[in-house]
Amino acid sequence: KAGVTQTPRYLIKTRGQQVTLSCSPISGHRSVSWYQQTPGQGLQFLFEYFSETQRNKGNFPGRFSGRQFSNSRSEMNVSTLELGDSALYLCASSWGTSGMRDEQFFGPGTRLTVL
Amino acid sequence: GQNIDQPTEMTATEGAIVQINCTYQTSGFNGLFWYQQHAGEAPTFLSYNVLDGLEEKGRFSSFLSRSKGYSYLLLKELQMKDSASYLCAVSFTGGGNKLTFGTGTQLKVEL
């Protein structure tokens, strides 16, 4: 079956702009989680969506937001971009059986560069 | 906090065995995952531990001690293609599918 897809793969923006990233999960998966990966901080959890509802949220400012559609596709938005937002943004999909083994499959990521 | 600690870098020789350690806070522990990430690629799942003991999967094995807050990933018969970053990630109760990751161990396999 097809894996997790993310678009776009690369993005260059300037400070103050906003950006929207898209993630299409594996067919049948209802949970989509977003992570930010930087060399210094590693992978950090942004939020998780399950059945169109945000189920968990990490410690990121309100400039980072997301949503999930009825087909489980998810988008994340970053407003008023800062230089420090430059990172690889990864989404991961899973069945969403919280509390049990629920392997997360990662997409290839979107490399965001903020100038 | 929910710090996940693992060594930053390790170097090993092709054909050898290497053990990558991971320690975590035991309070609220739900399960532990190991992922492999090659440079420029997405993390890929290696193993999952929830009970004490060793889980073996081919050349890779993962061990967990819940009481000690300790896990290791054991890679046998190392190959050059095993050069990658190895990520330890923990799920905690009440966190849904949220995974808390360590910063990763960069493994370099040399001839």
**CA–CA dist A90, A1 (Å, integer):** 20
Decide: A106 and A26 in contact? Cβ < 8 Å.
no
Nearest to A76 by CA among A57, A94, A95, A96: A57
Locate the chain A residue with the closest alpha carbon to B99.
A45
pLDDT digit string, tens, across residues A38-82 = 988 889 999 999 999 999 999 999 999 999 999 999 999 999 999
Q: Is A90 on the interface with B (CB under 8 A)?
A: yes
pLDDT at A99 over 60: no
Q: Is the CB of B96 less than 8 angstroms away from the CB of A48?
A: yes
pLDDT of amino acid B1: 55
Q: Is the CB of B45 less than 8 angstroms away from the CB of A99?
A: no
In angstroms, the separation between the Cα of residue B80 and the nearest Cα of chain A is 22
**CA–CA dist A56, B33 (Å, integer):** 19
pLDDT digit string, tens, across residues B52-65 = 999 999 999 999 99
